[in-house]
Each structure stands twice: as structure tokens, then as C-alpha cells.
Amino acid sequence: MRIPLSGPDITEEDILAVTEVLRTSRLSLGPKLEEFERAMTDYVGASHGIAVSSGTSGLHLCVRALGIGENDEVIVPSFAFIAVANALRYERAIPVFVDIESLRLNLDPAQIEAAITPRTKAIIAVHTFGCPAEMETILSIARKHHLFVIEDACEALGGEYKGRKVGALGDAGVFGFYPNKQITTGEGGMVVTQSEKTAAMVRALRNQGREDSENWFQHTELGYNYRISEMNCALGITQLKRIEQILERRAEVAALYSQKLRDVPELTLPTYGDANCKISWFVYVVRLAARFSEVQRDQIILRMKSRGIGVGRYFAPIHLQPIYKSDGSMRAPLPVTESVAPRCLALPFFNRIRDQEVEEVSETLRKLVTEVGN
């Protein structure tokens, strides 16, 4: 693609930080790991941080550490990346899919209590597209019913809810650092929590179930190799130093898209910000008007790609994925999810996209919407 959907923002300082690690004898479980964990906890306001191999592994470790297991039910949105449900199925827990609200596309708090049963153990609140979920209400419901809250903040580093960074508001939170995220470690993730007990369990499970990393052959839990390398952590440290600059640039790109597309009647643009939340722009997703079909949306995607412009389908509902259609997962009717998802279109969005590229994408989309919609 001439204009890709996403792209990492790697500087010479990032490259130097990684190569310096390669000149040492510590490539795993070393000082860069500890430094990255401290930097992340300081930034988000958590007591503990545990760096892991991916956001998905982080979600899995949270599920294990909180004691969520076979036949336990966990409330999740279906309009999310599939890892949020997969992490539950790894432990034979049951995802209970609940609908989203139509503005921010996050879990609808008004739908949660109807989905709670005696087997419900937790709620996973996904900060979709970097927009904070309605955490005050979700946490209130969780306390009332004695449920855990896991924040999937993989798309939301730097996002804020009522003046506090997301990820550190629930019992545990997870960030992801895949190359399409606000900052990247190549592959990697981070679990954050205020609980020393949860942190200790996640730390042990990350490293083959070892409570004491010095006692290499003493295993107390059935753990995993979810470690992250020193090179990944070195990259994360330097990237995190630029986080505010990165978030500012991404907000500028989002504002430019909104300026260029605001007069296209066939599009609903993202309008996430308000006094309670600060969005961390992960992607810029527009919605086609209700009269557009999924087939027409996909035609627009193909035509944009034929012009060298990368676009994406964010998200395909999890409950409609082949692996989840008949696996025993539970769901109430999801009318908002099923209405919104087929009409969503993610536009090229990354730190280094140029203003003229945003203009080209916008003009191309404007023309194709008119052509396909007539």
C-alpha cells in the first residue's frame, strides 16, 4: 500500500537502545525489563507492572491470576478483537457477549446486569479504539455483584477516565504494544494492577510458574513462557518517553480527518471526547449510513486498496466468528453490534502519516462513498 493502514514509528534513538542491549550478556529478564515495568506503572498510576509477550498473553494471565476457570461466566463485548474471548476459552470459561452503546461502541453498562448469573465471575471492559469505557458504572455494578473487572486497554495507552489513566482502574489491566499501537515493542504487552497478590501470580505464571526467578527449577504453578525480551523492553522504554508527543500527533490526525470528512452525509464520524474522558487515538473508524450494506462497505475497501490505500474492517463481531458460533458461548440479542459492525471502516492512521496523505484518503473515500452509494 502507498498509504498503509498502520505503521510503526521507529527513531534512531529506538534503534540505538535495542542495539545497546545486543552488546550485553542479558537478553531476557534483565534490567530493561524492570525499567520498562517501572516506567509503565509510573505513567498509568498502577502499583505493579508485569511485562509479557503480548496483550493476548496478558489477558490470559489476568484470567488465570484472578481464578477464573471452567464454566465461570465473564461478560465481554462482542465488538472487540477476538483475543478478549479467546483468553477466557483458554481456561474453559464462558464468554457472555453483551451489546455495546451506539456512540462510543464500548460495553453498554445498561445491558450488563441482565447478563449476570450465579456463575458470573468477572467483566472485561474493553476501551474500544482507545476510547475509555464508562468505568464508574461498570465498577459500581461489579462491586454490587462481587465481580472482578479486567480492563482491556490494549488500544488505549494514555487514555483517561475522569482524570485517571485507564488500565489502572479495575482489578487488573492489560496494554498491548503490537506495531499498530500508539507505542510498540514489536511484540509485547503489560499487565498492571494495584494488587500485590495478583501481580505476584502474573509474574510467576509469565515465567513457567516460578515464584522465585533465582530458583530456576522450582515451579509452584502451571505456568507459561510469556516472557518478553530485553530488546523489546528497551524499545518500549524509548517509545514511552515520547508518548505525549505521539498522542498529540495522533489527535491532530484525527482532527484533520474530521475536518475533511465532516460534510459527507453518508458518514458518521467518531465523536468520543467529553469532559469525563480523554481518548487515546488508536484508529480512526468511520461508519457508513444505515442504508449501506456490508457488501457495499467491502466494495469501498477493495476500491481504496486498488488505489494503494490501506483500510480495515474494525471489528468483525466475535459471536459471529466461525469458532464462536457453536462453542457454547452465551449472548443476549446484540442489535447495536450487528448493525454497526458491517458499516465500520478504519482509515489509515499512524504517527507518521502526512497531512497530504490524510487529504488524499479523505477525498478518495468521499468519491467512492458517492459512487457505491448511488
Backbone angles phi and psi of 366, in degrees to 5:
-55, -45
245 class by beta-carbon count within 10 Å (0-12 exposed, 13-18 middle, 19+ buried): exposed
- Segment (H or E) for 101: none
The amino acid that residue 303 corresponds to is R
Nearest CA to 250 among 353, 167, 346?
353
Name 129's Cβ contacts closer than 8 Å, sequence gap at least 6.
105, 155, 270, 272, 279, 281, 282, 283, 285, 314
- Distances in Å between the Cα of 24 and the Cα atoms of 20, 21, 223 are 7, 5, 28
Backbone angles phi and psi of 267, in degrees to 5:
-115, 140
Q: CA dihedral in degrees (95, 96, 100, 105; nearest 10)?
A: -10
- Distances in Å between the Cα of 114 and the Cα atoms of 152, 256, 308 are 22, 40, 46
Name 235's Cβ contacts closer than 8 Å, sequence gap at least 6.
14, 17, 18, 184, 185, 186
Backbone angles phi and psi of 230, in degrees to 5:
-65, -35
Residue 78 · residue 317 · CB < 8 Å: yes
Location of C-alpha cell 490524510? 358
Which neighbouring-strand residues pair with 176?
189
Q: d(Cα 82, Cα 91) in Å, to the nearest integer?
A: 15
Active-site hit among 181, 260, 305, 325: 181
> Is 165 labeled as catalytic in the residue annotation?
no
The amino acid that residue 212 corresponds to is D
Three-state helix/strand/coil letters over 159-209: CEECCEECCCCCCEEEEECCCCCCCCCCCCEEEEECCHHHHHHHHHHHECC
- Catalytic sites, residue numbers: 181
